[in-house]
Chain A
Amino acid sequence: MIGLAHYLVLSGILFSIGLFGVMKRKNLLMLFFSTEILLNAVNIGFVAVGRFYGDMSGQIFAFFIIAVAASEVAVGLGLIVLWYKRTGSIDLDSLQMMKG
């Protein structure tokens, strides 16, 4: 029997994968994929909890989060396109870190 705990564990695992991706990936596009995974991991959690309590608001939250994630990516992809046009690279290292 698959219960709430399984879903929450799945959500946790996905979140860790996303976090790992954010830290390790050098490709800017992959970086955004990873943040998407982070947000969608949380979505699973919300929907599962909402279902568990029989409370619709959990599932409505998921919609809002999808909208937030989409707008974040819209801004991010715009920046990536601009950056690619300027430098011809979407590698994280091409952002030369500003020095203090």
Chain B
Amino acid sequence: MYPDFLYIAPLVFVGFGGILLMLLSPFKQITIRMAAFIALFFMLCATGLYFYNISELYSYYPYAQTFGSMIVADNYSAYFSTILLAGAIFTILIGVHYFEKNRGFTTEFFSLFLFSLFGMMLLVHATELITVLIALEIASLSLYVMIGFQKHLDKRMEASFRYLVLGSISGAFFLLGTAFIYANTQTTKISQIGIFIQNNPQSDVMLLIMGVCFIFITFLFKIAAFPLQNWAIDVYDGAPYPVTAFMAGTFKAAIFGFILRFVLVDLELIIDFWDNILYVVILLTLLYGSFLAIIQQSLKRMLAASSIVHTGYLLIAFISIDITGKSAASSIIFYLVAYFLSSMGAFGLLSYISSDDKVRITYEDFRGFAHIRPYMAAMMSVFMLSLAGIPSTIGFIGKFYIFVAAIESGYTLLAVFGILATFVSIYYYFRLIAIMYFYPSAKMQDVPTLHGMAPYFIGIISLIIIWGGIGNTLITYFPGVDFLMDMARLAYDSLQVK
């Protein structure tokens, strides 16, 4: 056994880093670059701590007396926190250039960034609904401010405002659901709710089911599924690129991290109630998301819309959970990794280009991009291929597992719909590749030299994506997809440890 502190040390590191940066921010000597490196230092320390017992199955309540068993440290939370930390680290590494070039960013931004990361990590560690709410609010409140940080731009403010208003309503729904659950079961701890369900007949849990419905509404809102997806495109479009990347890749993973724990621990009974609703939600999410993605002219909006489609894929695996729990849950976890890598790469590349080059927004602006910047165009193509799920990228493997899980659980129709949505997605992803490669550049102006480290990190992400697609067949012993998948299964198992 390790000392309790080691289990919560990553959380403490990230939270402490946020407070330290806040205290340092009045000093003019601290440049944005220095603040970014301080933030990176704390995040890397936290990531390192998650590797101390990586291959061992554990589930432990650190400081059970003090925290009242409201926080758990298990393989599951470690896996998700590592995803979140990796996402945050890449966001900072790629975004430093953007933050330096654009007006309005100060060192406080990084403090908020760490607070938001702290909230997300707490979200995947939490086993109690009020703790979940507080974690969710820490993460969201910091995000609202981060979105509106460049306050001289109307667009940012508007996006921030919208997200704030809608987010607080969804938070209220979450609370209402929690109140119902509390009224019914006299507890808000997830594991005890499960025990209550097992010990009581169906007729006694009606209020509980209502409560769970409200919590699901919040969940569907936060991941931008069908009836509640309208905010996503505007907010993603209005936010600065690095923040968009952070929201799309990382925040979504954190939300799924919570809801999977909530459902998997023992609410499988309640999923039955949701099956039919979720079925329709998935179909409409895929359909409407694809439609929205097709009609966009701006690349950022297209990526935002396509994130709705990806939510649809994730929900396909989510609905399969009650039948093939293990493979469906681990496929969700794996897909989150794949999607976060691809979207982080795509948004990161766009952010780098838009901070350094002339502003490129729409598809047309990328006309002949490959002739000006061959390497960047190649990387962009890798991200597009991975998002579309073409074999030899990690995106393909992620989709493969999801559809396998769906077919195994008997949701063949949903899998077919998912595959059709993938076909459609090839249209809007490949359109960019075609425009970059097969059209002459409108004007071959002088090419500004590359600088900063962002291109290298974007390159690393694209290599990881390709490695994820083909790696394991080449060198067996180097960690690749199988390693990620094994870890995801282990994370699932750790939820079952009583």
- Per the bound structure, the CA–CA distance linking A46 and B295 in Å amounts to 45
Question: Which residue of chain A has the shortest Cβ distance to B305 in the bound complex?
Answer: A100
Residues of B within 8 A of A38 (CB): 168-169, 172
Size of interface on B: residues with Cβ below 8 Å to A: 39
B116 at the interface (CB under 8 A from A): no
A42 lies within 8 A of B175 (CB): yes
Question: Which residue of chain B has the shortest Cβ distance to A18 in the bound complex?
Answer: B172
| Residues of A participating in the B interface, judged by any CB pair closer than 8 Å | 4, 8, 11, 15, 18-19, 22, 28, 31, 35, 38-39, 41-42, 45-46, 49-50, 53, 55, 57-58, 61, 64-65, 68, 71-72, 75-76, 79, 82-83, 86, 95-98, 100
B353 at the interface (CB under 8 A from A): no
Residues of B within 8 A of A19 (CB): 169
- What is the distance, in angstroms, from B305's C-beta to the closest C-beta of chain A? 8
- Per the bound structure, the CA–CA distance linking A76 and B137 in Å amounts to 13
- Per the bound structure, the CA–CA distance linking A8 and B179 in Å amounts to 10
B168 lies within 8 A of A100 (CB): no
Question: Could you list some 23 contacts between A and B, CB below 8 A?
Answer: A11-B179, A35-B172, A38-B168, A39-B168, A39-B175, A42-B179, A49-B179, A49-B186, A57-B188, A64-B130, A64-B133, A68-B137, A71-B137, A72-B168, A72-B171, A76-B164, A76-B168, A79-B157, A79-B164, A82-B148, A95-B162, A100-B233, A100-B301
A86-B157 in contact given A8-B183, A49-B182 (Cβ < 8 Å): yes
A46-B179 in contact given A35-B172, A98-B234 (Cβ < 8 Å): yes
Max chain A C-beta neighbours (<10 A), residue from B144, B169, B175, B233: B175
B158 lies within 8 A of A98 (CB): yes
- What is the distance, in angstroms, from B179's C-beta to the closest C-beta of chain A? 4
B141 at the interface (CB under 8 A from A): yes
B238 at the interface (CB under 8 A from A): yes
B176 at the interface (CB under 8 A from A): yes
- Per the bound structure, the CA–CA distance linking A55 and B148 in Å amounts to 41
- Per the bound structure, the CA–CA distance linking A76 and B148 in Å amounts to 11
B161 at the interface (CB under 8 A from A): yes
Sample of 9 further A-B pairs with CB below 8 A, known A39-B175, A55-B186, A71-B137: A35-B165, A35-B168, A38-B172, A42-B178, A50-B182, A72-B164, A79-B144, A79-B161, A98-B234
Max chain A C-beta neighbours (<10 A), residue from B159, B182, B301: B182
> Which of the residues B157, B165, B172, B292 comes within 8 Å of A42, measured between beta carbons?
B172
B285 at the interface (CB under 8 A from A): no
Interface residues of B in 173-203 (CB under 8 A from A): 175-176, 178-179, 182-183, 186, 188
Residues of A within 8 A of B178 (CB): 42
B182 lies within 8 A of A58 (CB): yes
Q: Mark B436-451, 1 if CB is under 8 A from A, else 0.
A: 0000000000000000
Question: Which residue of chain A has the shortest Cβ distance to B180 in the bound complex?
Answer: A45
Residues of A within 8 A of B301 (CB): 100
B263 at the interface (CB under 8 A from A): no
- What is the distance, in angstroms, from B403's C-beta to the closest C-beta of chain A? 29
Question: Which residue of chain B has the shortest Cβ distance to A73 in the bound complex?
Answer: B168
Residues of B within 8 A of A71 (CB): 137, 141
B127 at the interface (CB under 8 A from A): no
The 8 A-B residue pairs with the shortest CB-CB distance, nearest first, are: A38-B172, A45-B179, A42-B175, A49-B183, A35-B168, A98-B234, A68-B137, A61-B130
B151 at the interface (CB under 8 A from A): yes
B419 at the interface (CB under 8 A from A): no
- Say whether chain B's binding surface is mostly helix, strand, loop, or mixed: helix
- Per the bound structure, the CA–CA distance linking A100 and B308 in Å amounts to 15
A82 lies within 8 A of B179 (CB): no
Question: Which residue of chain A has the shortest Cβ distance to B68 in the bound complex?
Answer: A57
A68 lies within 8 A of B171 (CB): yes
B74 at the interface (CB under 8 A from A): no
A100-B158 in contact given A45-B179, A61-B130, A75-B144 (Cβ < 8 Å): no
- Per the bound structure, the CA–CA distance linking A23 and B157 in Å amounts to 20
- What is the distance, in angstroms, from B142's C-beta to the closest C-beta of chain A? 9
- Per the bound structure, the CA–CA distance linking A34 and B49 in Å amounts to 43
- What is the distance, in angstroms, from A90's C-beta to the closest C-beta of chain B? 11
A83-B161 in contact given A64-B130, A68-B134, A100-B233 (Cβ < 8 Å): yes
Interface residues of B in 111-131 (CB under 8 A from A): 130
Q: Mark B265-296, 1 if CB is under 8 A from A, else 0.
A: 00000000000000000000000000010011
- Per the bound structure, the CA–CA distance linking A7 and B138 in Å amounts to 29
B154 at the interface (CB under 8 A from A): yes
Question: Which residue of chain A has the shortest Cβ distance to B166 in the bound complex?
Answer: A22
Interface residues of B in 307-347 (CB under 8 A from A): none
A100 lies within 8 A of B292 (CB): yes
B371 at the interface (CB under 8 A from A): no
B157 lies within 8 A of A83 (CB): yes
- What is the distance, in angstroms, from B210's C-beta to the closest C-beta of chain A? 11
Residues of B within 8 A of A64 (CB): 130, 133-134
Question: Which residue of chain B has the shortest Cβ distance to A97 in the bound complex?
Answer: B234
- What is the distance, in angstroms, from B246's C-beta to the closest C-beta of chain A? 18
> Which of the residues B161, B179, B237 comes within 8 Å of A95, measured between beta carbons?
B161
Question: Which residue of chain A has the shortest Cβ distance to B130 in the bound complex?
Answer: A61
- What is the distance, in angstroms, from B153's C-beta to the closest C-beta of chain A? 10
A98-B182 in contact given A39-B172, A42-B175, A72-B137 (Cβ < 8 Å): no
B360 at the interface (CB under 8 A from A): no
- What is the distance, in angstroms, from B155's C-beta to the closest C-beta of chain A? 7
- Per the bound structure, the CA–CA distance linking A72 and B134 in Å amounts to 11
